[in-house]
Amino acid sequence: GGVIETDAGGEATGILKETAQALVQELIPPATVARRRTAIRAAVAALHAEGITSYTEPGLGPGGAQILGG
Are residue 35 and residue 53 in the same domain, yes or no? yes
Question: Bridge partners of 3?
Answer: 17
Per-residue pLDDT at 69: 64
Are residue 68 and residue 36 in the same domain, yes or no? yes
Are residue 24 and residue 39 in the same domain, yes or no? no
Are residue 18 and residue 38 in the same domain, yes or no? no
Are residue 39 and residue 66 in the same domain, yes or no? yes
Are residue 46 and residue 66 in the same domain, yes or no? yes
Consecutive 10-residue averages of pLDDT for the chain (70 residues): 93 94 88 85 92 80 66
List the domain range (segments joined by +) for residue 15. 1-28
Are residue 21 and residue 46 in the same domain, yes or no? no
DSSP 31: -
